[in-house]
Amino acid sequence: MKKIIALVAAVVSVNSFALSSNDSWETIEAAVSNSEKFTASNVGVFLGKPSTVFNVCVDGDKLVALEESAVRERQYVGRTRDIHDSENDGWATVITGYKKYSYPITYTSYKEECNTRGKRCRKVPYTVNQKTERTITINKLVADYGQSRSGRDRKVYKKLFTKTFEIPACN
């Protein structure tokens, strides 16, 4: 029985290391999300909260999440129920419901521009256009150098391949 389990584990590990641009997006997404051996770049989208291109679909001029997410609010719950943070001040972040987030593909955002070293600041509007077709780069871990002096791991990734992904339309 142990030999069968070891054989299955070996086959799974060989398949996860053999990613190529010919693989389906489902296979690539599973390998990237389940392992630190691979990373994907250029996959971020904004739906009112950060998400990835694999978790959204296009509905007209909006991006819509495929799954519902928890909506959290900061509420007063009393000191006896406030056990989830270290402050114990009676305020806690509570799940108030679930919803499917959506956001326009093209929207206006604001950045702050300041003159004279942080004085006379103003918010300047700019237009953000989220692309529905992305060229995604898949990177493979080639070295892990453990902790540095700052206490962080240093991981070195090498570009494995790039592939174009089109965000699908909603059903």
pLDDT surpasses 60 at 91: yes
Q: Which amino acid is located at 89 in the chain?
A: D
Q: 125-152 pLDDT, tens per residue?
A: 999 999 999 999 999 999 888 776 777 7
Average pLDDT over residues 57-83: 88
DSSP 55: G
Indicate the SS3 state at residue 17. Answer: helix
Amino acid, res. 134: R
pTM: 0.70
Tell me the percentage of the chain whose pLDDT exceeds 70: 88
Closest CA to 44 of 160, 130, 139, 106: 130
Q: What is the largest CA-CA distance in the chain?
A: 72
